[in-house]
Structures are given as structure tokens and as C-alpha cells.
Amino acid sequence: MERRSFIKKSILGAGVVLGGLKYTSGYAATSSLKITKIRYYAAPGYNKPLFNQARGIVEIETDGGIIGIGEGGSKDMIEQCAQMIIGEDPFRIEHLWQYMYRTMFYPPGKEKLHALGAIEMALWDIKGKALNVPVYELMGGATRDYIECYATGFRASKATTPEGQAEDCLKAGLRCFRIGPTGGSDFNVPYDFYENVQKTIEFCKRIDSAVGGQGNWAIDLHTRFDLIDGIKVCNALEELQPYFVEDIVRSENQGVYKQVRAMTNVPIAVGEQYGDKWDINELIEGRLLDYARVTLPNSGGLTELKKIAAISETHYTGMIPHFTGPLSTASLVHVLGSSSPSRCMMELGGGAPERPDYFNEDYLLFKDGKLYLNPAPGLGVKFNPKKADFVMEVSERTKFPHPYLKSPDGAIHGW
């Protein structure tokens, strides 16, 4: 289909189509596109069940020939969501998200949110391609020239010590070098918490000295310690002033951060294990963290992450999303690059973008430790399905649609 330009909404007769937008009631504009097929591919060579990071690729095909791509979700969750939206208008992104989110008996768990995030990502890609604009333009336009990045490890370094790798990381232009606690590399060896509290503190001191302090490093405690040990580490690090200390305790009990906040003054980062805004809004509103780590596709999609960014803005909280997969990284640039000017930073595993064979080489614009907004239509990423592993295709709507309710204005309210 020929790419369309945006048309302002006008008062027109029912059924009139202009510029790819269909005016069905005189006021409500929809596109003339329909979702016809949804395919799911496994990322070749990726097998990390330990982290449960969803890296599958979703293709959404329309009857106009425009195909959007997303990343995330498991086969079962993608299949359930896909069957719900065959035949729907891909431009109604928020409406479809609410439909998939609200119309089952149980609220979505985190695994389903991954699938929602992948599908919603692909819908944004379709809309950008159809209107011939990058997604960040559809989300409000650019608010910053680039996104600062930090490295978890630094593969480009030839140094043989973490201190040397941290130095090389900063020389390459990245804002920050992130480390983890000591120990825990061999799951068959019992973890001595007291010993590793002390070793972790000493490790942080060495890294801080290597990079010259000034918040050029951060640490993720990986929810590894109990509250008392996590606080021991935090209090010992206060004078070093790390950029942030992440996941001080486990994530199940969010209310515990009321105690954590009262017991330490280090900058707190939380959220890589969370999903939509309901998972983290109370932590942000209570000023119990300094940086939200919620990411894509975990949040359920670009729009949902944009909402979390707005909540963060009103409470002066920064955004430093966790990395998951390469397409999600590209999508994060669109969200953060069009969100509030609050402090933000992106994580790069190994200190550089991944370059999977199934995406175009230049899918990310990365230079001197920074990620720049991609001006290509949609997400700016080209997918070669021949280099991925096909899993399934959905082309029919579910035969067992779940009942749901609409308000008089047509908004979905669940069932």
C-alpha cells in the first residue's frame, strides 16, 4: 500500500475514506487497514531461560501489505492475543491494548504483558510506516538529541580487570559503568551473604577509584541480599555516591521500600522485574525510588511505558530502562526520545548494541556511547524472517471471544 500522509479530522459523512483514514461517524477517524495475519519467530541462538527475557519476533501483516514488527512474548501468550485482534484496525493502538488487557477474567500477568508489549510495538511500527514518519514523531516529537547509555560489562575493552574495563567504558563515551555484587557465579556453591557483603563493598570502592567517582558507576544488587545485608551495602556506599543502587531487595513486596528509603540515602533504582504502571505507580508516587527500571516489552508496550514516564515526570523520578532485546532497545529510543526532559539513560549489555543477523546492520544509530533517534518510518528496523526460526502464524479470530462491556462512548471497561 502507498504510504499515507496524516489527515486532520473533519466532519464528513459516514464511510468516507480520505488519505487512508476512514470517517465512520462524522467524527471518529479510523484507518482503512485491517490486521490479517500475525506470525511469531524465535530468535536464533537465544536460549536464556534463567532470565526469562522474551526475545521472539512478532510480525503483524495488514491487508494493505504493511507489516509491523515487535519483540517479546511466548508462543502461547502471543497466540492468545493475536486471535483477539485479527480483522481489527491496527491504528487503534490504545483501544486494542485495552481490549487485550481488560477482557479476560484475570488481569494480565507479567508473561502476558511481554506479549502485549510485542504486539503493541508492532502496531506502532505499522502506523509509522503507513504515515511515513518515525514512531517518536507520532509520540510527540523529539525532546532530546540523543539518549545517554551505560554499560553492563564492556566487551570492547582489552583490559583484564573490571577496573580497566570501567575506565575503557568511560573513555568510549558511555555515561556509567554498571557492576553486580561479588559471588554467585556458580549456583552449586552456597552463597555466603556476610562474606559477599564485605567483598561487594570493597569491589565498589575499587571501581569508584578507577573511574574517579562522580557517579560514573552503579551497582545492581540483583535482589540477592536480605534487607539487613542490602542496607549494609547501601550505607557503606553512600559516601562513594554511585549513580544508583539497583534492586536492593526482592521485588515481591513493594511496600518494603518505605523502610529501605528511610534506612539509606543512596539513589535507588527499581523496576526491571515489574510490568505495567500498576506495578510501579505507588513506588513512584511515594518517592520510594529515584529511577524507574521498567522496560520494553515488559511494560506491555510503548504507550504504557510513556505513561510510566509521565508519572515519573510528575514525581521527579528518572527513567533508566533495563535492556531486554535489540528491537526493544530500538523502541526505547523512540519512547525516551519523545518523553519528558527528566533524566534518563539506557542500558547496553556489553557496552554496545547487539547486531543480530535478522535485523539491518544500522537499525540502531549509536555513536560515542550514545543512541540517537532513528528518522526512518516506524521503528526504523528491517526484519529478515528467513534468518529467524518460524514458530506459528495466526490468521483467524478466536471462536470463543470473551464477553466484555463498553461504556456508551465506546470505551472498553472489561466484563
As a whole-number percent, the residues of the chain with pLDDT over 90 amount to: 82
Q: Helix %, strand %, coil % for the chain, to 5?
A: 35, 20, 50
Q: Which domains does the chain have, with CATH numbers?
A: 36-132+384-414 (3.30.390.10), 138-372 (3.20.20.120)
Banded model confidence at residue 6, pLDDT cuts 50, 70, 90: very low
Banded model confidence at residue 30, pLDDT cuts 50, 70, 90: confident
Which is more confident, 324 or 1?
Answer: 324
As a whole-number percent, the residues of the chain with pLDDT over 70 amount to: 92
CA 59 to chain centroid, in Å, comes to 18
- Return the SS3 of 31: strand
Q: Could you give the CA distance from residue 272 to residue 247 in angstroms, rounded to a whole number? A: 9
- Identify the H or E element spanning 120: helix 110-131
DSSP assignment of 179-237: E--S--S-TTS---HHHHHHHHHHHHHHHHHHHTSTT-EEEE-TT-S-HHHHHHHHHHH
Q: Could you give the CA distance from residue 334 to residue 7 in angstroms, rounded to a whole number? A: 22
β 35-42/365-367 pair status: unpaired
Which is more confident, 42 or 52?
Answer: 42
Banded model confidence at residue 7, pLDDT cuts 50, 70, 90: very low
Banded model confidence at residue 45, pLDDT cuts 50, 70, 90: confident
Write the pLDDT tens digit of every residue in 132-164.
999 999 999 999 999 999 999 999 999 999 999
Distances (CA, A) of 367 to 136, 364, 370: 19, 10, 5
Amino acid at position 217, single letter: W
User: Cα angle at 223 between 221 and 227, to 5 degrees?
Assistant: 95
Mean pLDDT of 288-294: 97
Question: Which pLDDT does position 415 carry in this prediction?
Answer: 76
With 0-12 CB in 10 A as exposed, 13-18 as middle and 19+ as buried, what is 384? exposed
pLDDT at 277 over 50: yes
186, 114, 170: which is closest to 100 by C-alpha?
A: 114
Q: Could you give the CA distance from residue 184 to residue 189 in angstroms, rounded to a whole number? A: 8
Please tell me the least confidently modeled range out of 19-33, 290-304, 339-353.
Answer: 19-33
Question: Please, are residues 66 and 129 in contact by the beta-carbon 8 Å criterion?
Answer: yes
Question: Please, are residues 59 and 39 in contact by the beta-carbon 8 Å criterion?
Answer: yes
Write the pLDDT tens digit of every residue in 227-253.
999 999 999 999 999 999 999 999 999
Q: Could you give the CA distance from residue 288 to residue 304 in angstroms, rounded to a whole number? A: 20
Question: Which pLDDT does position 107 carry in this prediction?
Answer: 87
The verdict on whether omega for the bond into residue 90 sits within 30 degrees of 0, i.e. cis, is: no
Tell me the whole-structure pTM to 2 decimals.
0.92
Q: Could you give the CA distance from residue 47 to residue 1 in angstroms, rounded to a whole number? A: 37
Question: Please, are residues 373 and 363 in contact by the beta-carbon 8 Å criterion?
Answer: no
Residue 8 region by backbone torsions, left for phi larger than 0, else alpha for psi between -120 and 50, else beta:
beta
Q: Could you give the CA distance from residue 159 to residue 415 in angstroms, rounded to a whole number? A: 58
pLDDT at 94 over 60: yes
Euclidean distance between the first and the last CA atom of the chain, given in angstroms as a whole number: 37
Buried b (16+ CB within 10 A) or exposed e, 113-140: bbbbbbbbbbbbbbbbbbbebbbbbbbe
Distances (CA, A) of 357 to 38, 43, 264, 327: 21, 10, 45, 12
